[in-house]
Structure 1
Amino acid sequence: MTPTLRLALLASTVLAGAAAAQDVTLTIESWRNDDLTIWQQQIIPAFEAAHPGIKVNFAPTAPAEYNAVLNSKLDAGSAGDLITCRPFDASLELFSKGKLADLTDLAAMANFSDVAKSAWQTDDGAATFCVPMASVIHGFIYNKTAFDELGLTPPATLDEFYAVLDKIKEDGRYIPMAMGTADQWEAATMGYQNIGPTFWKGEEGRKALIEGSQKLTDEAWVEPFRQLARWKDYLGDGFEAQTYPDSQNLFTLGRAAIYPAGSWEIGVFTPQIEGAFEMGAFAPPVAAAGDTCYISDHTDIALGLNAASPNAEAARTFLEWVGSPDFATLYANALPGFFSLNSAPVEMADPLAQDFVGWRETCEPTIRSTYQILSRGTPNLENETWNASANVITGAETPEDAAARLQEGLASWYQPQQ
């Protein structure tokens, strides 16, 4: 081998090694295993095209196993570089243990409001440890075909809401509302947390409960239960044994006219209905015309940095991109019903998603009242609210008794409520 050839081969080897050294592969841990193909086919290619040298691997775990598997990986030092964050306490605990890095100084954090960041901050708001990705919005999805047949228009006030339900019930062709109480969480999440902000005035009431200046026995917190008690007459026969999938099926099969909903149903319902009927959505009705509208615009998913990641610089580059308007538009349209928390406006292609996200223009946003701080003790307020909501609807408990029980449980361990 000639000296010239030897030098050429050596140079090519060094260059190849340098190129390989520049390539970084980031691994994302997530519980969302249903959107794997979207990450692989849309999100990751968009990032990699704009950031040569950084590769991304999306490695989800089954939702029910995610917390346990992630904690084990973090303890063993084998977790991925990027950690998909659940809202509030589960992620706060990881940050408190030093498992998630502080991302307060990330430039992209300026693109998010205080409410958007609240699910991934310390209690005092001093540190933010995950980049907000998306929220889900609560309201009511309705069968437009059924409404047209019955000459109905979407209600804006409570009186109009019950007038619509009465007309549907009197006609008899449709179950007025598809919701059951067998799974309990459905009654609380699509019931109590859906309409409740109207009465406790969103963030005002939620923060007052945390501070201890309001109690769950106050009128603002009891009235939503009174409203749920009225729903019993409109849920159809056998709703007590009706599961969440049963409710979904009743609506998608065209048997129910209204579905108390979370926006995540958009991606589920649309392919199932397949043109059988058109869907619309209306926001939680206000007490009287002219009142402020409130919606549960609940912080749902974010992305954090494994504090032990050997690729922190590349991971922060990815997180800056996740916090950008470009990612917000891409993600929100790839997963209709999961809405960007970015302050930049996002144009939605899905018409039903447009209905939901449009309420942000006219309604005050809040998050579910039980998620921040108030479910850290025993009894767990979130789980107890599931049971109370179901009991109030079935008539097993009065609204006043349910509220008193929740208040007693919260006060038993939460000092500001004592």
Structure 2
Amino acid sequence: MKRTRIVWLVLALLMVGTLIWAGGGKEAASDDSGAVVLRYTSLRTEDQERENSKNAEFTKLFPNIKIQFEAIKDTEYDTVLKTSLETGVAADIVMLRSFDGGRQIYDGGYLVELNDIIPGMHDTFTANSIATWATEDGVMYGVPYFGSITGVWYNIDIFNKYGLKEPETWAEFIAICEKLKNAGETVFAHGTKDQWAITETLYCDLGPNFYGGEDSRQKLMAKEIKYTDPKFVKAYEKIGELVKYFPSGYQGIDYVTMQQMFLNEQAAMFIAGSWELGIIRDAEVNAGWFPPPVEKKGDPLHYAFYADLALGINKNTEHMEEAIEFLKWVASPDHAKLLANALPGMFPTLKIHYDIDDALALEIIESTQMSHVVPTGQLMWEKLSLEEPSGETLQNEAVQRFLNGTFTAKQAVEYVQKGLDTWYFK
């Protein structure tokens, strides 16, 4: 029997998130059948087949509109999107990163305002997810696409081989790492080549339990504390304890290689997001999931659970009517049901009931409902990355240099704060 969940109760807690790319409203206007071809761009290359399958359902409803899904490597996405928008060849539908990432695209004058053309969004989406892609005075420029959760994936077969159980505390987590390393196993599928990956899946995944999660994020934005606060230093020190469990030559390992190591069962654990569930299912890996370990039993679990990506309409599209029709569909409960199961581990942020067929996806979303959970978002995505040097870039660089051994924890936080002092704390 299909298991059903009242997902809006969970997603109402969402705090942060995003996606984007290139394309062109200036070409490929129709196919041989005469249907309008809408170009829709994304940074998730791994979703090609699933997106095509899902979007085919839209074409069944609107045979005169076909969706051409185009993805680009995530590390190149922002640059390509910006260039394509500036040169007038961007896609009709663009994926938007949350908060500052999407806001910069809107402020550049590239996005359609959605308040009047997609009515009822406040009745459909959670307030926090709407606010992620809206201005201070309520202008909405993105339809929330899905929320993500970050935690730790593990290979069940490897854990069973050594009699290991999911850890709750940091000490239990380190004990597992030690046992696996001493047994000759590769503990983590992790490297530091891609800066975004180590920040999102290490510092802002495991770190919140040490720097104070959402409370500290809000205080940092309010300038009540600085990034040099001892709590942020401690978070660096804790993730630094994991470096000795990384593979040899980890400095040259990028995110795609990290994925492949885990999918090929070459490592016991992979610190990443719920968004990986689809490719884990495709690879038929016997995988489990556990939340970021807390420092000691009874501590609040500061769980990174946030509105991640949205879709916007390129203001210069030549297919405005069709683009609006597509986003209306994306904002519907029917699309939410399709998305939740076509892309397992990605959770639509609607205030509605929808079915989650995948048992592990359901387990992940249910793990956010424990009484001691305090949801939080990515530390630098809101307000702190609107200008240069952006907090996100500074933190990415600091985390990478720290894990590669060229910064101490103290030097890392001072580097970030020095950059923020030039504009945000000025």
Instruction: State the TM bucket, normalised to the shorter chain.
Output: 0.7 to 0.9
Deviation per residue, 1:96-147 (Å, 9 max, x gap): 343322223521342222332233122x252221100113321100011111
Tell me, what secondary structure is at the counterpart of 1:102?
Answer: coil
Tell me, what secondary structure is at the counterpart of 2:337?
Answer: helix
Q: Please, which of 153, 158, 167 is the counterpart of residue 155 of structure 1? A: 167
Tell me, what secondary structure is at the counterpart of 1:135?
Answer: strand
Deviation per residue, 1:41-80 (Å, 9 max, x gap): 3323x23444x57523325253466656655665676655
Q: Which amino acid aligns with 2:388?
A: T
Q: TM-score, normalised by structure 1?
A: 0.82
Q: Which amino acid aligns with 1:379?
A: P
Q: Please, which of 357, 361, 367 is the counterpart of residue 359 of structure 1? A: 367
Percent identical pairs in the alignment equals: 30
Q: Does 1:85 align with 2:91?
A: no
Aligned residue in 2 for 1:35:
47
In structure 2, C-alpha distance between the alignment counterparts of 1:250 and 1:73, rounded to whole Å: 33
Q: Does 1:323 align with 2:326?
A: no
Aligned residue in 2 for 1:112:
125
Q: Please, which of 181, 187, 212 is the counterpart of residue 192 of structure 2? A: 181
State the Cα distance separating 1:266 from its structure 2 match: 2.2
Q: Residues 67 and 151 from structure 1, CA distance in 2 versus in 1: closer, same or farther, beyond 3 angstroms?
A: closer
Higher percent of residues as helix: 1
Q: TM-score, normalised by structure 2?
A: 0.80
State the Cα distance separating 1:291 from its structure 2 match: 2.3
Q: Residues 242 and 81 from structure 1, CA distance in 2 versus in 1: closer, same or farther, beyond 3 angstroms?
A: closer
Contact 2:134 2:141 in 1 (8 A): yes
Tell me, what secondary structure is at the counterpart of 1:159?
Answer: helix
Q: Which amino acid aligns with 1:146?
A: I
In structure 1, C-alpha distance between the alignment counterparts of 2:76 and 2:269, rounded to whole Å: 33
In structure 1, C-alpha distance between the alignment counterparts of 2:242 and 2:342, rounded to whole Å: 34
Q: Residues 385 and 166 from structure 1, CA distance in 2 versus in 1: closer, same or farther, beyond 3 angstroms?
A: same
Aligned residue in 1 for 2:313:
305
Deviation per residue, 1:198-227 (Å, 9 max, x gap): 234433222221121121111332221011
Contact 2:42 2:69 in 1 (8 A): no
Q: Which amino acid aligns with 1:57?
A: I
Contact 2:38 2:319 in 1 (8 A): no
Equivalences for residues 5-404 of structure 1 within 5 A: 25=36, 27-32=38-43, 34-44=46-56, 46-50=57-61, 52=62, 55-60=65-70, 62-63=72-73, 81-105=92-116, 106-122=119-135, 124=136, 126-170=138-182, 172-272=183-283, 274=284, 278-308=286-316, 312=320, 315-362=323-370, 363-404=373-414
Q: Residues 76 and 409 from structure 1, CA distance in 2 versus in 1: closer, same or farther, beyond 3 angstroms?
A: closer
Q: Residues 346 and 157 from structure 1, CA distance in 2 versus in 1: closer, same or farther, beyond 3 angstroms?
A: farther
State the Cα distance separating 1:283 from its structure 2 match: 0.5
Contact 1:120 1:130 in 2 (8 A): yes
Aligned residue in 2 for 1:412:
422
Q: Residues 36 and 214 from structure 1, CA distance in 2 versus in 1: closer, same or farther, beyond 3 angstroms?
A: same
Contact 1:43 1:331 in 2 (8 A): no
Contact 2:101 2:381 in 1 (8 A): no
Q: Which amino acid aligns with 2:356?
A: M
State the Cα distance separating 1:311 from its structure 2 match: 5.5
Q: Which amino acid aligns with 1:251?
A: F
Contact 1:143 1:257 in 2 (8 A): yes
State the Cα distance separating 1:305 from its structure 2 match: 2.9
Q: Which amino acid aligns with 1:282?
A: F
Q: Which amino acid aligns with 1:56?
A: K
Tell me, what secondary structure is at the counterpart of 1:177?
Answer: coil
Could you list the runs of 5+ residues in structure 2 that have no partner in the other structure? 1-33
- The worse-fitting range, judged by mean Cα deviation, of 103-112 and 125-134 is 103-112
State the Cα distance separating 1:333 from its structure 2 match: 1.2
In structure 1, C-alpha distance between the alignment counterparts of 2:131 and 2:86, rounded to whole Å: 26
Contact 2:104 2:386 in 1 (8 A): no
Aligned residue in 1 for 2:7:
none
Tell me, what secondary structure is at the counterpart of 2:406?
Answer: coil
In structure 1, C-alpha distance between the alignment counterparts of 2:161 and 2:347, rounded to whole Å: 31
Q: Which amino acid aligns with 2:68?
A: F
State the Cα distance separating 1:259 from its structure 2 match: 1.3
In structure 2, C-alpha distance between the alignment counterparts of 1:74 and 1:84, rounded to whole Å: 13
Contact 1:108 1:320 in 2 (8 A): no
Deviation per residue, 1:264-284 (Å, 9 max, x gap): 322233333x3xx51100010
Larger Rg: 1
Larger relative contact order, structure 1 or 2 (CA cutoff 8 Å, min sep 6): 2
State the Cα distance separating 1:390 from its structure 2 match: 2.7
In structure 2, C-alpha distance between the alignment counterparts of 1:326 and 1:371, rounded to whole Å: 30
In structure 1, C-alpha distance between the alignment counterparts of 2:406 and 2:78, rounded to whole Å: 34
State the Cα distance separating 1:337 from its structure 2 match: 2.8
Q: Which amino acid aligns with 2:166?
A: P
Tell me, what secondary structure is at the counterpart of 2:248?
Answer: coil
Q: CA RMSD in A?
A: 2.9
